[in-house]
């Protein structure tokens, strides 16, 4: 591949998150790659540091995806509830904590 001739050292570390279906191994959601023109550049300490970074990056990527899924789910729920033909409310500790527009018309 053109432009890759300079790579003499390469490291690829999978970004793993827990997989409930396979508790003995993780699920790969990406790969952290490092390269260098110098042969045999990465000592064991660098490999361990890159692994620690990859572990943290995997958690961050996974959490960002979960937040996006939660936001999408909340938007879908909000749209359904706000446009419902019936009143929907949440009663907590004898207080109405949420009421959709139709419920507000009722009360």
Using alpha carbons only, how large is the chain's radius of gyration in Å? 25
Its domain, for residue 17, covers 9-106
Q: Is residue 2 part of a domain?
A: no
Domains held by the chain: number: 1
pLDDT over 90 (residue 9): yes
Q: Is residue 1 part of a domain?
A: no
Q: Is residue 3 part of a domain?
A: no
Which of the four pLDDT bands, split at 50, 70 and 90, describes residue 79?
very high
Kind plus residue range of the DSSP H or E element containing 68: helix 44-82
Q: Is residue 4 part of a domain?
A: no
pLDDT over 70 (residue 1): no
pLDDT tens-digit profile of 15-67? 999 999 988 889 999 999 999 999 999 999 999 999 999 999 999 999 999 99
Quick one: residue 100, left, alpha or beta (phi over 0 = left, psi -120 to 50 = alpha)?
beta
Q: Is residue 92 part of a domain?
A: yes
Query: The whole model's pTM is what?
Result: 0.72
**What pLDDT, on a 0 to 100 scale, did the predictor assign at position 2?**
65
């Amino acid at each position: 591949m053109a432009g890759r001739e300079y790579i003499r050292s390469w490291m690829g570390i999978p970004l793993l998150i827990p997989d409930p279906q396979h508790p003995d191994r993780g699920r790969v959601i990406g790969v952290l790659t490092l390269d260098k023109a110098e042969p045999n550049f990465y000592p064991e300490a660098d490999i361990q540091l890159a692994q620690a970074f990859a572990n943290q990056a995997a958690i961050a990527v996974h959490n960002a995806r979960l937040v996006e899924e939660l936001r999408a789910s909340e938007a879908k729920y909000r749209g359904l509830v706000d446009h419902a033909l019936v009143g929907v409310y949440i009663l907590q500790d004898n207080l109405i904590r949420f009421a959709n527009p139709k419920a507000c018309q009722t009360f």
